[in-house]
Structure 1
Amino acid sequence: MYMKIKSVAVFGAGAVGSYVIWGLSEKKDISLSVIAKGERAERLKAEGCLINGKTYHPEVLTPEEAKGVDLLIVSLKYGALAGALDDIKEVVSENTIVMSLMNGVDSEEIISTKIDKSHIIYSLIKVASHREEKEYVFNPETTIGIIYGEEAAPFESERVAAIRDLFDGTGLNYRVTDCIKEEIWSKYRLNICNNLPQAIIGAGVGCYTDSEHMKAISEGLRKEVEAVALAKGIDMSRCAGTSSRGSAVPPTARYSTLQDIDAGRHTEIDMFSGTMMRMGKELGIATPYNEYTYHIIKALEEKNDGVFDYDENSEAVTYSK
């Protein structure tokens, strides 16, 4: 029997989840829900999801109530994933497909510690969504959207076709690929090289073209990512013609890590350089650029947390030469 997706649950209604909610809310003949508990669930029920000037009211379900949905889309912040694994396990039943649209290269691996890997279809998303007070904003026309595919042949599987049917006619941009892991790693490389250095100095992306020093830092990070990828058998050149395509951004653009620091939030640095450090150590590959980047962004988080808010009554520190 031909597979048809009739129910979709989104776990994480932030910048990424909002793109999915926006696209699927007008889809006929499906049930769309957001997974939440407690105070967050009550807030979503009362306020809905404000996206591009319109308020959407998807059904709000607990993990228990969402159990057995056809498609579970995980769009959480990396730091929230570990605490959500039991909820993901609760949602997934025999025929549930799980699509993780999280940044990084290991969310599928982490999720598969709780559910069988056969449920997971690999994917990524490219959307320049940002938050303005309680509203999420993005440009649907310039958004690249969701890229997904099977890890191995057959690439044109029944569930690939079912997801294509789900997305068709929704406004969501999407593309199927037969080199999904390489595409995920290419996005990861781009995030580490372009997302992180600008966050350290607090400047727009124009810094990479206007400063040889910023270019040198970005290049150092890139070489480390590529060395680890190569050791893992990931050949990013396979998707070089597709993964590099993107939308033009102004030199003032501030990517997600800098947006988090600007807003006083903790970042996803553990997913970026933190994971690179772990993989490098496992493979015996030095990652000094990522190690420095990791610690300096952690220190910026501490600064936002008030760790360095010293006053005149703070205990004096004496240094000797």
Structure 2
Amino acid sequence: MKIQSVAILGAGAVGCYVLWGLADKAAANTLQLGVVAEGSRAERLRQNGCTINGQVYHPQVWTPQQAHGVDLLIVALKYGALPGALDSIRTIVSERTVVMSLMNGVDSEELIAAQIGAAHVLPALIKVASHRTEDGVRFDPETTIGIIYGELTAPFDSDRVQAVRALFADTGIHFCVTEHIREEIWSKFRLNVCNNLPQAILGAGVGCYSDSAHIKAISDGLRRELEAIAAAKGIDLSKAAAASTHGSTVPPTARYSTLQDLDAGRHTEIDMFSGALMRMGRELGIPTPYNEYTYHMIKALEEKNDGLFDYTATDAVTCSR
């Protein structure tokens, strides 16, 4: 198997990392590379391209129909956009297409597999400390951990694992193959829940975790609940590589994706984080009070961004209770 065509669904921070890494192969005509988009989004991409680390890239822009039959589809969407993209994914995927989801959370592969069949899905995750600025997406290529992927069961060095390895070789993309991809995905999920969410509530850089015993206590509470659910599901997080216990190196001022969303007035992926843990906790009979509080707090912050609490002096008076 050789990967000669790649489609990226979702040209945000994660999609831009892949686009950046494969751009030279596309420029050398050794790889067909395109971003899947329609409507006004597609037109903006055609006109403006993607600005990554100060450089403008102009990838091909394909409709789902034009992308049909690519060798590799990389799904790099925000969680809330996935349900609306499932029809596009079905259109893109042919019998030979391999699909890698680089989305956060622990269930995007399951949602995609339910539409196209599990045999198409090569489980994966990405760790990249990227952020949007006025001039596009920025990340540090050297400190980025990158893409971790692998088969759920033997043979772990399958044809498609080798094909993806050959694709990423001699590019700027950092990558690693693992025989414990499920545990690696849950290990990243733990990082996101414990490090993404308390910071988002506080509205401060990641230095808060070392500087505040109170923020650390919240993080530890979220961790205990997640690890209890993982254990009940038979997921041994100790099998994840030691490198998976941390993310890409960032300064104490760094703001992770949930806080970036709130800063920008966007809705977050909290349903994929604490929302998913609350659901799994109910199914398993495991209490999740830290996650329940965190879920409702971040939902309230989204409502605040939506203007729900923009009260004026002319609003009706209510009694305090």
Q: TM-score, normalised by structure 1?
A: 0.97
Indicate if the aligned counterparts of 2:129 and 2:248 stay in contact, CA closer than 8 A: no
- Give % identity: 68
Match of 2:122, SS?
A: strand
Which residue matches 2:217? 216
Could you say which residue in structure 1 is the equivalent of 2:141? 140
Match of 1:154 in 2: 155
Secondary structure, counterpart of 2:230 in structure 1: helix
1:280 maps onto 2:281 in alignment? yes
Counterpart amino acid of residue 267 in structure 1: T
**CA distance, structure 2, for counterparts of residue 26 and residue 240 of structure 1:** 30
Equivalence for 1:171: 172
How far 1:83 moved relative to its partner?
Answer: 0.5
Show the counterpart of 2:77: 76
Give the SS at the match of 2:11.
Answer: coil
Deviations 1:52-89 (A, max 9, x none): 11111111011011100000000000000011001100
Q: Is 2:22 the counterpart of 1:21?
A: no
Report what 2:235 is aligned to: 234
Aligned residue-pair number? 318
Which string of whole-angstrom CA distances, capped at 9 and with x for unpartnered residues, describes residues 259-286 of structure 1? 1111111111111111111111111111
One-letter amino acid of the counterpart of residue 124, structure 2:
S
Deviations 1:148-202 (A, max 9, x none): 0001111000000000000001111000000001000000001100110011011
- Distance verdict in 2 for CA 1:247–1:39, change over 3 Å: closer
The CA RMSD measured in Å over matched residues stands at: 1.0
- Counterparts of 1:1-321 in structure 2, within 5 Å, are 3-27=1-25, 28=28, 29-320=30-321
Specify every segment of 5 or more residues in structure 2 that has no aligned partner in the other structure, as ranges: none
Paired residues of 2:128 and 2:248 also in contact (CA < 8 A): no
CA distance in 1, matches of 2:6, 2:58: 14
**Aligned-partner Cα distance in 2 for 1:303–1:137:** 28
After the TM superposition, which segments of 4 or more aligned residues of structure 1 sit over 4 Å from their partners?
none
In the TM superposition, what is the alpha-carbon distance from 1:119 to its structure 2 partner?
0.1
Deviation by residue 1:215-247 (Cα, 9 ceiling, x = unmatched): 111000000110111111110101142312544
Q: Deviations over 1:21-47 (max 9, x none)?
A: 000010141100000000000110111
1:249, distance to aligned residue in structure 2 (A): 2.3
Distance (whole Å) between structure 1 residues aligned to residue 109 and residue 248 of structure 2: 27
Q: Which consecutive residues of structure 1, in runs of 5 or more, have no partner in the other structure?
A: none
SS at match of 1:150: coil
Please state whether the residue corresponding to 1:264 is helix, strand or coil: coil
How far apart, in 2, do the equivalents of 1:59 and 1:318 lie? Answer: 59
Compute the displacement of 1:133 (Å). 1.8
With normalisation by structure 2, the TM-score equals 0.97
- CA-CA distance at 1:135 after TM superposition: 0.7
C-alpha distance in structure 1 between counterparts of 2:246 and 2:282, whole Å? 31
Q: Counterpart amino acid of 2:239? A: R
